Amino acid sequence: MLSVETSLKEAMTAIEGSVGVALVDYTSGMALGTLGGGKDLDLTVAAAGNTDVVRAKIRTMEMLGIREDIEDVLITLGSQYHLIRLIKGRGGNGLFLYLVLDKGRANLAMARHQLRRIETELEL
């Protein structure tokens, strides 16, 4: 099992093209941990903003009567992928991993696979 800090480091090193990563509580909008980012990517602001995305999708699924779990949400920009992975399992309710990738260097399928692996090994 990986700690939050180790999980974030793993995401930054094991996932090709990683720009920044955060563990976020979408009930409060607070980032519980961040790594990477920079002057053009404030992960604290991104974490708070993406809680609205997650909440809206959960609300929409409830209104539609969809009773499946969200695996991840992908936002594609011109130069970046923003991947939101909801955490399942014990202690993970209300949390998601947020990963920003450089689109030119990242392999999206591998990034999703690695993020899923990191999620399963994360100890909360």
Bridge partner residues of 97 (DSSP): 23, 85
CA distance to 55, 60, 86, 95, 97, per residue, from 63 (Å): 12, 5, 19, 21, 25
User: Quick one: tokens of 95?
Assistant: 């949390």
Structure confidence at residue 44 as a pLDDT band (50, 70, 90): very high
Distance CA 111, CA 90 (A): 23
Taking only the tens place, the pLDDT of each residue in 49-95 is 999 999 999 999 999 999 999 999 999 999 999 999 999 866 668 99
pLDDT of residue 91: 62
What are φ and ψ of residue 26, in 5° steps? -80, -5
